[in-house]
Amino acid sequence: MNPIMPMWFEVAVLLPLILHFFLLVALISVGRTSRHTSAAKGVWVIIILAVPFLGPILWFLIGRSATPGIEAQSRSSAN
């Protein structure tokens, strides 16, 4: 702890940095997944950017474990 700066100031500076890091990790995760179609990835990116705190949480809880879309399934069966 810094004796000159109050604790709330340190939290106010660190919280946005942590949030931006969390957003970046979620966006990279969306881009790297092969479980979703391009349209589904686009929707997830919009959700993550539109709702900065809740969007990444939803992605990691719901999006990553969701079943692949019909297009993604047909693409993998064609190979």
Within a domain: residue 73? no
Residue 29 lies in a domain: yes
Are 55 and 47 contacting, i.e. CB atoms less than 8 angstroms apart?
A: yes
The structure's pTM equals 0.67
Q: Which domain holds residue 34?
A: 23-66
pLDDT at 5 over 80: no
Q: When comparing pLDDT for 53 and 27, which is higher?
A: 27
pLDDT number for residue 4 = 79
Number of domains in the chain: 1
Distance CA 33, CA 63 (A): 10
Answer whether residue 34 is part of any domain. Answer: yes
